[in-house]
Structure 1
């Protein structure tokens, strides 16, 4: 006897209220065991894989990839019980002969009003959860462009007109945005649409493929059984197999705003970033100061570290030197490593440095941090920054990686930008902005010479940090970058 269970979207331990379905790892008819990965979701902070609390057979996927659903809303139905498990086992092994029914691995049902301790936050809602309405056909991803750059700590561009083989140039950065155009549906469909006017029939993996290729499923002619659109249908349409797509363009009115504008849903990391930046900008009085310095000795120091046997296997860049300089300068100006407690009307000075590195990823801006960075040696800090970079690049930074930061470095030098006025990360009192390092004329030893020059900027919360303190901190960081040898070799 099988029983139909619904798995509800849990709170994955972040206190969040909604998440986007990124990709399903199972399909209807699949046999699953307890802790098998069902789906990958994107919250406002990270990508998370959800395991199954049930054993049985997938009956239905209740939401499609790309949907945003509230915590507590049902997302998948699973047939449980010995009958469902045995049937699934029989489908998986048709030639195995008689198979004993597998025992049900379904966890014990919680008491009324209780919560099932399979996933954090899983259980019945006290309020009714409503899923956001899915956008109608015609909303498709416009061919997501990959945002690629090398490690964050390898991020300073040299001037192309004066290349120096001994000093590595900055990374090439391909800055692109994955947009989701909201286009009006033509009055006359370019390709056959479902006769009943409902959403085109396609499995979630096929829908994701169509989304990635920028294909509108309403324009694809289905060839599968019962009018289901298959993977080959989507691929053929994307490759020019259907002639309807190019015909639809002339039918649009060129001056209509709907075809001249793109609306991108604000969700996930972008939504969280927007809320955090607005809150920071309008609650903390920002002050920004700049200093331009000769970083030639830093570049030479980086070159020496790269060939040093102790640094074999780790990335070494000017960002590493700046990160260590921040940890050292904080000792003399602890106010830049503090928090303003509005409720208690106190300034909380922190005796540790959780150093955040702002990272532009395909999912948006994230700021993972190196815990207790001030306690690490230069070699250990280089390794920690490398791991942080790899995690951010893969989009796998977890909430714990981004929690508890006390100071942030943002590196606009990767884009060839000289400086900026960064906004404070909420809960912090200062942020350092690093610009590109370029060959420029500089007066050195009484003569004008080509030197490696960069600009640093620091923004700070004027409630916590006075002008003199902010200036002292920035001057200390600049002094270390101008002559890093003595300060960083201990």
Structure 2
């Protein structure tokens, strides 16, 4: 079934785009518009979270929002229609949606005059079989027609995503006399056409999966035998729902032993998705693919800390973010220039080592959605003011949750600043596809032998993890020693740079 050309031109459908590199799905975090709102080309209508970042999506049409196909918190496949826009709202009432208009021969005048109902069909269940032949009908008493808007809304909501589903036009039956509505003794049975599998909307299926509830065990109470969110919640807490008021609710099949505590009531379960899921998968893949080696060095950074204070007063650095991380990044880049073999990647498919003549320096950033690693493109060619400007912008964007997937692709090496949490150091895991990662620990005042005397000096510990397929111990040690040497005597930024 397809919509008429006129309707297709009027109602424009916007599909979930691939906002990253080969992403397959995204979660709708927030809608900024609702049905009936006026939108313009380029207006942001929603925010979605991919496996890499949160991204705002602009609509490419002018018009009025006709329908939002998914609610907030729903994960949607790339290519699925998420919103439709009426680009000609002044043209009058819309024609019957394609999902409700089966393609068949035009009915006779007698048939066209008869009220007809529609059966909602869920994607994946099909429709009840019906005869393809028509026969003459006897006049039937008039049956009140169902409101078209409710039928269309139910059909669109049940269909869930993109594929229009055939519908069945049942034979009208005589209207039954009106009677007082009484509470049913049992939930409404599902239609015979869907007896093989419970009916539920995609968000309800997801809720049941998250709560570990089998839909087949739930008695539906929704219209046409559809399982609702309330049905799932009721099934998740059967004891609480069935117990009389004031009666104790059992928490286990067997009586608890004396002194034990019910911990389940004090636990929270959060689905792993979005950035957190992608980070977990990447770290597991990295840890079990690249053989990691981690080396440590403790260094006196008193001169570097003094230089940081001087740079904050330098007119050329006015308005820029100047901190120890900036000089650690610059020291890392200088050391990489002295040891370019470190800046490489392992190509397993072609059994090759790819040496790179550019450095995309990643900065690990902790965000409410999880750890992300945006990178500064071609960082090795930046001056210190340029590096400071891009570093400040990168961190600010990450904290706002606005980092684009492109900003997180193509990294070659990374710095993780664990010192901001008061941690001395750690054993960082490589960002997948990169050759090395440097952990910068907390800078602390410690006793240190300086010019033959024990003095209080500002000291930090660096940890370098590297891919041992690419970098042997000698090369990795030289790189780490050079980073430490620059931070101990920052004038080497000039002599070595």
User: TM range, normalised to the smaller chain?
Assistant: 0.5 to 0.7
> Which of 364, 377, 400 is matched with 2:383 structurally?
377
Aligned CA distance change for structure 1 residues 303 and 85 (closer, same or farther; 3 Å): farther
Task: Answer whether contact 2:81 2:162 (CA < 8 A) is retained.
Answer: no
**1:421–1:13: structure 2 CA closer, same or farther, 3 Å change rule?**
closer
Q: Is the 1:21–1:65 contact (alpha carbons within 8 Å) kept by the matching residues of 2?
A: yes
Unaligned runs of 5+ in 2: 1-5, 95-160, 164-200, 214-220, 235-244, 252-259
How far is 1:373 from its partner? 1.1
Distance of 1:332 and 1:310 partners within structure 2: 27
Report deviation, 1:395.
1.0
Deviation, structure 1 residue 354: 0.9
> For 2:266, which of 249, 260, 263 is the aligned residue?
260
Match of 1:14 in 2: 21
8 Å CA contact 2:204–2:229 kept in 1: the answer is no
Shift of 1:74: 2.7
Q: Secondary structure at the match of 1:384?
A: helix
Query: How many residue pairs end up in the alignment?
Result: 358
Residues 91-134 of structure 1: per-residue CA shift (max 9 Å, x gap): xxxxxxxxxxxxxxxxxxxxxxxxxxxxxxxx989xxxx95656
TM-score by length of 1: 0.66
Aligned to 2:458: 452
Per the TM alignment, residue 403 of structure 1 is displaced from its structure 2 partner at its CA by: 1.1
Cα deviation, 1:285-320, whole Å, max 9, x if unaligned, reads 000000011111111111111111111111111111
CA deviations 1:391-436 (Å, max 9, x no partner) are 1111111111111111100110011111111111111111111100
Q: Which of 441, 445, 462 pairs up with 1:439?
A: 445
Question: TM-score by structure 2 length?
Answer: 0.65
Map of 1:86-125 to 2, 5 A cutoff?
none
- Find 1:300's aligned residue among 303, 306, 319: 306
Indicate if the aligned counterparts of 1:19 and 1:268 stay in contact, CA closer than 8 A: yes
The structure number with the bigger radius of gyration is 2
Correspondent of 1:365 among 367, 371, 382: 371
Q: Does the 8 Å contact 1:295/1:482 carry over to 2?
A: yes
CA offset at residue 73 of structure 1?
A: 2.4
For residue 355 of structure 1, what is the aligned residue in structure 2?
A: 361
1:69-468 mapped onto 2 (5 Å cutoff): 69-81=76-88, 83=90, 133=204, 135-136=206-207, 198-199=228-229, 253=251, 255-256=261-262, 258-468=264-474
Matched, 1:46 2:53: yes
The CA distance in 1 between the partners of 2:426 and 2:71, in whole Å, is: 41
Matched residues in 2 for 1:441 and 1:194: separation? 72
2:71 to 64, 89, 95: 64
> Is the CA contact (8 Å cut-off) linking 2:204 and 2:228 kept in structure 1?
no
Structure 1 residue 438: deviation in Å?
0.3
Aligned partners of 2:32 and 2:485: how far apart in 1?
53
CA distance in structure 1 between the aligned counterparts of 2:35 and 2:385, rounded to whole angstroms: 50
Classify 1:85/1:322 alpha carbon distance in 2 versus 1 (closer, same or farther; 3 Å): farther
* 1:481 is the counterpart of 2:480: no
C-alpha distance in 2 between matches for 1:275 and 1:85: 51
Distance of 2:271 and 2:351 partners within structure 1 = 37
What value does the CA root-mean-square deviation take over the aligned residues? 3.4
User: 3-state SS of the aligned residue for 1:339?
Assistant: strand
- Secondary structure class of the residue paired with 1:60: strand
1:252 to partner: Cα distance: 8.1
CA distance in 2, matches of 1:434, 1:426: 19
Alpha-carbon spacing, 1:349–1:265, altered in 2? closer, same or farther (3 Å): same
Deviation at 1:323, TM superposition (A): 0.6
Inter-CA distance 28–255: structure 2 relative to 1 (3 Å threshold): farther
CA contact (8 A) 1:57 1:84 kept: no
**Once the 2 structures are TM-superposed, how far is the Cα of residue 446 of structure 1 from its aligned partner?**
1.5
Change (3 A) 1:441 1:84: farther
Q: Which runs of 5+ in 1 are unaligned?
A: 88-122, 140-181, 185-192, 201-216, 219-246
Displacement, 1:41? Answer: 1.0
